[in-house]
């Protein structure tokens, strides 16, 4: 049992589920939701392997990569869902052209 892998796995799951809770599922970009669900999968897989066997070196790379991505994007998510995540598109063209 590799309990050291539980720390990043639990961190990933907590942060990802918090971000998924904030996202409006009707207007969110599918790429962002897919990336968050993939990171949740990495966290679940790391947690499962921590309790059932050994965590391979490439799984450690996935866990560390997910933790770093979540940590470096914390500033964008601190005040809520970033604008680039939602697809509520603005108006095309300048407002002066409206008649």
pLDDT of residue 76: 87
pLDDT of residue 78: 87
Domain residue ranges of the chain, discontinuous segments joined by +: 3-74
DSSP 29-61: -HHHHHHHHHHHHHHHHHHHHHHHS---HHHHH
The DSSP call for residue 84 is T
> For the segment 10-44, what is each residue's pLDDT rounded down to a tens digit?
999 999 999 999 988 888 888 888 999 999 999 99
pLDDT band at 81 (very low <50, low <70, confident <90, very high): confident
């Amino acid at each position: 049992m590799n309990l050291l892998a539980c720390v990043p796995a639990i961190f990933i799951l907590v942060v990802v589920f918090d971000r998924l809770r904030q996202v409006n599922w009707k207007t969110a970009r599918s790429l962002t939701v897919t990336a968050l669900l993939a990171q949740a999968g990495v966290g679940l897989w790391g947690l499962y392997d921590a309790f059932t066997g050994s965590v391979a070196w490439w799984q450690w790379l996935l866990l560390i990569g997910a933790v770093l991505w979540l940590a470096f994007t914390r500033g964008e998510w601190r005040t809520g869902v970033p604008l680039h995540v939602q697809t509520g598109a603005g108006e095309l063209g300048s407002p002066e052209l409206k008649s």
